[in-house]
Amino acid sequence: MNAHSHHEESFFRKYIWSTDHKIIGLQYGITALFFLMVGFFLMMVMRWQLAYPETPIPFVGSLFGEDGILLPEIYNSLGAMHGTIMIFLGVVPLAVGAFGNYLVPLQIGAPDMAFPKLNATSYWSYFIGGVIMMGSFFSEEGAARSGWTSYPPLADIEVGQTIWLIGMVFLITSSLLGSINIITTIVQLRAPGLTWSRLPFFVWTQLITSFLLVLAFPPLEAAAVLQLMDRVASTSFFLPSGLVISGEALTVSGGGSPLLWQHLFWFLAHPEVYVLILPAMGIVSEIIANNTRKPLWGYNSLVYSGIFLGFMSFVVWAHHMFLTGMGTAMSSFFQITTMIISIPSVIILSALLISLWGASIRFNTPMLFALAFLPMFGIGGLTGLPLGIAASDIFLHDTYYVIGHFHYVVAPGTIFALFAGIYFWYPKITGRKMNERLGQLHFWPSLLFMNGIFMPMFIQGLAGVSRRLWDGGLEYAHAAGVLQWNEFMSVSAWLLGISQIPFIINVFYSLKSGEKVDNNPWQATTLEWVAPSPPLPHVNFETFPEVHREAYEYSVPGRKRDFTPQTEPKKR
């Protein structure tokens, strides 16, 4: 035990360039929540245009055009940046950078991450990437507008992409460094007695997620370099021969392949969606175990399914490319792998549902969000099936059906799980609980309006309404019958925005006035609840934990308490 004299750290060392994983986790969390708000704001503006085409946007209209009306190019910019910001600046940094960084060392009984300085570097790389991305809005050309998918040939020649690509390089670097840190930490710094089979499922999900990031991001980084070369050095990595734009032939060598970009992009972007969902599954699992007062059903199934899911995620990517002219052999291959990958997801969802059977459920706010995750993720997952089957995907690709599908998984899916996690671990981070009443006020309307926004998207998609249309399908005859949903969805979106106000108030209010708690307010079993609330700077624990038990010893028959912390020694 190191009687480490706590030298006085300057404000800069304590809060800006901190190497304490808890501070870094909070830096990620606060930054990510800010970006989630920005991404949400962009969407609210887009939805005005969709609900009331070519009418001036209230309040903020002057930001988007002289007469306050959203131009198609700006709509496309908002769309591309909404996706980019939500995924790369919002959800992943929150799910992995914030939750991962803050909780992994605590849940494995370690004083910090394996590489604390690298950790700080990852955060600041993310921050710089974020500044670059946001800065693109203020550049002369404006922000990227070729979709978050940045497909060439458009992305090779369209404005705003160069900055986007440079921003992506910083963000990818941040992710790579962060995931190397998480894997090394989990493998090397587990407390004595914390064997793999005793690891909380949340830690497993962070481990698998980090492997996905470490191995899948680099090809996108390579692709980004290639696209930058196309834009800056006039190469033709992605530009085919004979390309004519606005009547003029491009004076490049040609010979490139737009499909090459798609392969390299989706090689990352498919595992990326599992990066979005796995931490959420981990968070929900912890909260369900704790609030059902039962061990998770099927721990081994959960772990093996997670590992299998991670592995399979690398071989399904071309289901995003069914319409690119692949032959039947390869289309079948990717269809089969995609169908197979649904199995571990179903196993995980089922295990979590079965975990509820016979449980004494505590319906606190984190549990409400965790419970809602289950059917919402279920809808998201099920609607993925017709997209994974090549034949039906022919009709549904690039329609609103796709948007509905992935938003169900990420929005009332992952983001609900992240809210659950914030409510659940807030007491550990701050020493105070969040207010239950405000929590309920946040939860119920959010659940309602999430469905209000995304359910009609399936209807529109099935009718054939394409995505990324600035007028929401107004010009197309086949959309006529479903256009009325646009206003409905937009109103739901704005009301969803308002429903977040109780949450924002709660976060700040509870800092000063929340119910004070000791180290284990939820009577939980995992190691983070052994540390004080908040954990000690830099070292976390007063005395270092030794693990003697599995992760979820709740309601074990014959014991006095309905939970047994992992650190409690077994009686001989």
**Distance, CA of 481 to CA of 485 (rounded, Å):** 9
Our finding on whether 263 is near another protein (CB under 8 A) is: yes
Our finding on whether 326 is near another protein (CB under 8 A) is: yes
Nearest distance in Å: CB 189, another protein: 7
Stretch that binds another protein, among 185-193, 434-442, 443-451, 497-505 (CB under 8 A): 185-193
C-alpha pair distances (Å), 162 with each of 218, 244, 523: 18, 21, 51
Nearest distance in Å: CB 2, another protein: 5
- The burial class, CB within 10 Å (0-12 / 13-18 / 19+), for 17 is middle
Quick one: DSSP state of residue 245? E
Q: Which of 134, 215, 340, 354 binds another protein (CB under 8 A)?
A: 215
Closest CA to 258 of 245, 242, 239, 241: 239
* Number of other CB atoms surrounding residue 193 within 10 Å: 15
Q: Which of 37, 128, 154, 260 binds another protein (CB under 8 A)?
A: 260
One-letter identity of residue 261: W
Our finding on whether 252 is near another protein (CB under 8 A) is: yes
The pair of structure tokens assigned to 329 is 């052999």
Distance of CA 301 to the CA centre of its chain: 23
Stretch that binds another protein, among 40-48, 94-102, 179-187, 385-393 (CB under 8 A): 179-187
Our finding on whether 257 is near another protein (CB under 8 A) is: yes
Stretch that binds another protein, among 86-94, 187-195, 381-389, 505-513 (CB under 8 A): 187-195
Per-residue binder mask for another protein (CB under 8 A), 230-249, x = binder:
---xxxxx------------
Nearest distance in Å: CB 173, another protein: 10
Q: Which of 29, 130, 256, 545 binds another protein (CB under 8 A)?
A: 256
Of residues 95-114, which lie at the interface with another protein (CB under 8 A)?
110-114
The pair of structure tokens assigned to 422 is 């914030």
Our finding on whether 38 is near another protein (CB under 8 A) is: no
Stretch that binds another protein, among 214-222, 368-376, 396-404, 563-571 (CB under 8 A): 214-222
Stretch that binds another protein, among 38-46, 125-133, 217-225, 344-352 (CB under 8 A): 217-225
- Triad 213, 219, 223: Cα angle to 5°: 130
Our finding on whether 149 is near another protein (CB under 8 A) is: no
Q: Which of 62, 139, 188, 360 binds another protein (CB under 8 A)?
A: 188
Residues contacting 411, CB < 8 A, separation 6+:
450, 453, 454
The torsion defined by the Cα of 44, 450, 30 and 46, in degrees rounded to 10, comes to -10
Evaluate the CA torsion angle 264, 270, 273, 274 in order and state its sign. negative
DSSP 395-414: HHTTBHHHHHHHHHHIIIII
Closest CA to 321 of 286, 272, 367, 269: 269
Stretch that binds another protein, among 8-16, 215-223, 446-454, 458-466 (CB under 8 A): 215-223
Q: Which of 36, 165, 216, 453 binds another protein (CB under 8 A)?
A: 216
Q: Give the residues lining the site for another protein (CB under 8 A).
A: 1-2, 4, 110-116, 118, 176, 179-181, 183-184, 187-189, 211, 214-223, 225-226, 229, 233-237, 252-253, 255-257, 259-260, 263-264, 267, 314-315, 318, 321, 324-330, 333, 539, 541, 544
